[in-house]
Every structure is written in C-alpha cells, then in structure tokens.
C-alpha cells in the first residue's frame, strides 16, 4: 500500500510517501524558520499562509522523486492535531479533498503518535513494548507503548515543555529562533560543570517533569554574567536537562519493567542528551533508539508511516467523504482507537 503523508501542524510543511512493502520512498520538507525568525516565534497566520503556498508543489516534488503518480496512492494520512488550527486546516483540507477526488481513504493522524513511532523508521527499529520519551516544542512526556493504539501516559511536564525551555533559555542568551539547535551549538564550547543549575523534580518519585525553574535560574545568571560566560551557561543548562531526562528515563524503565527506550521529538536531536542517554542506559543493560536526526523534528514521513500502520490494521477503512475535523488540542489517549 502506498500512503502519502502530510504534516502541517506548526512551522514545517512535510510531505512523504511510504510504501508498506518498500518503506519510505521519498520525503520533502519546507521549514518556515526564516519566515518567523524576525518575530522570535511562530506567527500562526503567516504559518497557515505559507503552508498553502508550499503544500501542492511539495506533493508534486515528492511524487516525482518516488516516480509515482497520484493515481497510485492507496491512502492519504495527515496531521489532524494537536497544533495550530489554521495550519492544521491547510493539511487536512488538501488531504481530504485529494482523497475525495481519488476515492481513497484519508486518515487524520495524531502528531505525537507520528513522533513516537518515528524511531521505527530507523535502521534498527525497536520492537514493542517500549517507553517513549517525547520531547518537543509543545510536549514532554513519558509514554508506555505496548503496540499500535496502546499508549499509556506515565508522566509529563507540569509547566514548560523541554523544547520550550530550550527556546526560552536561548532567547535569554540572545540566540535566534528556534533556540534548541542554536543553544546546543553555543554549548559545544562551554563547560557543563561550571554552573550548578537545579535538576527540577529529580527526586519527585514520579515521572513528571518541570523546566520553568531552570529557565528562571538561567535568567538570574544572565543578569550577573558577561556574554563570554554564555557558552558555559548554555552547557550547564543542557547538562541539567539531560540529567533530569536520563534519571527519569531509567525510572520509567524500572517502573514499567520495560527494557527499551525510544526518544522522539525535536529535542531528541540534542547530541548531549543522545550521548548521555545511550551511555547511562547501556550501563544498565537497557536499549535506547533515536529516530534518524532528520526525522526527530516535524516531518511528513512519520505521519505517512503512522497512517500506513493504521491502514494495515484496518484495510476496510472507508474512502474520504470530504468532511473532517481537526483537533488543535488533542490528548493522545482520546485519539487511541480513532481508527
Ligand atoms: O518536534 P518538533 O520539531 O516540533 C514540535 O512538535 O514541537 O520540536 C521542536 C523543538 C523546538 O523547541 C526546538 O528548539 C527543539 O525541538 N530542538 C532542539 C534541538 N533541535 C530542535 N532542542 C535541543 N537541541 C537540539 N539540537
Ligand atoms: Zn512535533
């Protein structure tokens, strides 16, 4: 089965073609980073308009790259939420109208399901069950994943998401949007042991996380230090986030009795986090899988893949009737069973 995936929940237009036999055939991405940079964050109205401009040319580009025609598609999967309402509407309306015209199913996929299944697109895909650590711009949570549609929330952030903490801290350090990659680059030349930043909720006993205090601690350091100290501040911040996530990841594996951790979402691209998780989990005899770097952040491949898995389970899924709903706020548990 050939599935076209469309991701447009935030500031990336991602399109991909996934074949249930041959795997990922092609994917294309347009990032709006340059468009929103001047505003220090995503401007929803500009995001929607840009998705409209990019989406059809990107679909053509992806089909050309895979040497496939629209008429060969068996289904279209698109991000139905959570995300920016206007941005989601662009992907959903293109997907549903195209599916209606082609008389094929259109599947509204949960964005976070896409992220948490994305490591399965890698070279050594982990088997179920596993603990998924989802760390993106909008979410930070531990989920127990026992199979498709079997997702159990183990713990989550009580305030900022990990990516949000990276972005806000980067802003304090005068770095450009998006902050995560810029902060990690700065941290490369810094001393992570110089500033003893707090490790919020390290010993809370549960799997919840908190990052807003860390950002406050950095804002105090920024007031009392010079720009030449910023690499050390950035490295110390990264170390604090990595320490907490590693500690809680080990705890999540211990509580569930599982042996595999899968890291997904934009912050999963962070090299310090990757290195520390790999080292600490391997020491415990556990296994950690990361999506290929380009699939850590938003992309169409993870949506095409999630849609393909659902379609395999429900080959009788009805063709698009043209009507659809988007879910700007959407709990992953409420979604389980949508297909
Ligand atoms: O998953 P994603 O692309 O979009 C959401 O669904 O939110 O995640 C974006 C987040 C941003 O906050 C960005 O700063 C962060 O991921 N990020 C990173 C890195 N690359 C992206 N954070 C830390 N280190 C990185 N290398
Ligand atoms: Zn995302």
Q: From the CA of 314, how far away is ligand 1's center (Å)?
A: 32
**310/287 Cα distance (integer angstroms):** 26
**48/13 Cα distance (integer angstroms):** 10
Q: Give the largest Cα separation in the chain, rounded.
A: 63
> According to the model, what pLDDT value does residue 234 have?
98
Dihedral sign of CA atoms 61, 67, 73, 74 in order: negative
Q: From the CA of 75, how far away is ligand 2's center (Å)?
A: 22
> According to the model, what pLDDT value does residue 332 have?
87
> According to the model, what pLDDT value does residue 147 have?
93
What residues does ligand 1 touch, defined as CB less than 6 Å away?
10, 136-138, 163, 166-167, 178-181, 184, 265-267, 269-270, 297-298
Within the chain, strands assigned E span: 2-7, 12-19, 23-31, 75-81, 106-110, 130-135, 140-147, 150-156, 260-264, 287-289
**180/165 Cα distance (integer angstroms):** 9
Q: Whose CA is nearest to atom 3 of ligand 1?
A: 297
Q: Is 10:47 a contact under the CB 8 Å cutoff?
A: yes
* Residues linked to residue 141 through DSSP beta bridges, in sequence order: 134, 156
CA dist 229 → 176, 225, 235 (Å):
18, 6, 10
Q: Is 278 exposed, middle or buried (0-12, 13-18, 19+ CB in 10 A)?
A: middle
Ligand 1 pocket mutation pick from 33, 40, 188, 267 by most atoms within 8 angstroms of CB: 267
Q: Is 15 exposed, middle or buried (0-12, 13-18, 19+ CB in 10 A)?
A: buried
Atom of ligand 1 nearest to the CA of 167: 14
Tokens of 36: 């929103």
In terms of DSSP bridges, do strands 260-264 and 150-156 run parallel, antiparallel, or are they unpaired?
Answer: unpaired
**101/171 Cα distance (integer angstroms):** 45
Consecutive 10-residue averages of pLDDT for the chain (339 residues): 98 97 97 93 96 98 98 98 97 98 98 93 92 93 94 96 96 94 97 97 96 96 98 98 98 97 94 97 94 92 98 95 95 82
**38/66 Cα distance (integer angstroms):** 35
Tokens of 182: 């810029």
Atom of ligand 1 nearest to the CA of 164: 12
> According to the model, what pLDDT value does residue 85 have?
98
**91/83 Cα distance (integer angstroms):** 11
Q: Give the contacts of 142 (CB within 8 A, at least 6 positions apart).
A: 131, 132, 133, 134, 153, 154, 155, 156, 207, 248, 249, 252
Q: Which ligand is nearest to the CA of 11?
A: 1
**158/32 Cα distance (integer angstroms):** 29
Q: From the CA of 313, how far away is ligand 2's center (Å)?
A: 24
Atom of ligand 1 nearest to the CA of 269: 26
Q: From the CA of 135, how far away is ligand 1's center (Å)?
A: 8
Q: From the CA of 270, how far away is ligand 1's center (Å)?
A: 8
Q: From the CA of 269, how far away is ligand 1's center (Å)?
A: 7
Atom of ligand 1 nearest to the CA of 170: 14
> According to the model, what pLDDT value does residue 67 have?
98
> According to the model, what pLDDT value does residue 306 have?
98
Left, alpha or beta for 43 (phi > 0: left; psi -120 to 50: alpha)?
Answer: beta
Q: From the CA of 224, how far away is ligand 2's center (Å)?
A: 35
Ligand 1 pocket mutation pick from 37, 132, 176, 180 by most atoms within 8 angstroms of CB: 180
Atom of ligand 1 nearest to the CA of 139: 7
Q: From the CA of 265, how far away is ligand 2's center (Å)?
A: 6
Q: Whose CA is nearest to atom 26 of ligand 1?
A: 270
Atom of ligand 1 nearest to the CA of 265: 1
């Amino acid at each position: 089965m050939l599935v076209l995936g469309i991701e447009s929940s935030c500031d990336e237009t991602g399109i991909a073609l996934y074949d249930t036999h041959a795997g990922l055939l092609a994917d294309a991405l347009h990032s709006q980073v340059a468009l929103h940079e001047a505003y220090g964050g995503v401007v929803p109205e500009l995001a929607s308009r840009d998705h409209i401009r990019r989406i059809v040319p990107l679909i053509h580009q992806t089909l050309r790259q895979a040497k496939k025609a629209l008429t060969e598609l068996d289904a279209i999967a698109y991000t139905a939420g959570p995300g920016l309402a206007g941005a989601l509407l662009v992907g959903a309306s293109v997907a549903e109208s195209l599916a209606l015209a082609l008389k094929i199913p259109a599947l509204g996929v949960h964005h976070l399901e896409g992220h948490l299944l994305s490591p399965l697109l890698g070279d050594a895909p982990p088997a179920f069950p596993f603990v998924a650590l989802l760390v993106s711009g909008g979410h930070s949570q531990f989920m127990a994943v026992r199979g498709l549609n079997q997702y159990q929330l183990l713990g989550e952030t009580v305030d900022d998401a990990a990516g949000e903490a990276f972005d806000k801290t980067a802003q304090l350090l005068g770095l450009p949007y998006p902050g995560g990659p810029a902060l990690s680059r700065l941290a490369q030349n810094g001393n992570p042991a110089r500033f003893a930043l707090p490790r919020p909720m390290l010993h809370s006993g549960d799997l919840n996380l908190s990052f807003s205090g860390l950002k406050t601690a950095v804002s105090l350091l920024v007031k009392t230090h010079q720009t030449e100290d910023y690499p050390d501040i950035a490295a110390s911040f990264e170390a604090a986030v990595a320490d907490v996530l590693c500690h809680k990841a080990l705890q999540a594996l211990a509580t569930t009795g599982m042996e595999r951790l899968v890291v997904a979402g934009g912050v999963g691209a962070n090299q310090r986090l990757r290195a520390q998780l790999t080292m600490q989990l391997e020491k415990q005899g556990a296994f950690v899988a990361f999506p290929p770097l380009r699939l850590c952040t938003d992309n169409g491949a993870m949506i095409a893949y999630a849609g393909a898995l659902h379609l395999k389970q429900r080959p009788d899924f009805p063709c698009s009737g043209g009507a659809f709903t988007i879910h700007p706020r959407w709990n992953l548990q409420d979604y389980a069973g949508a297909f």
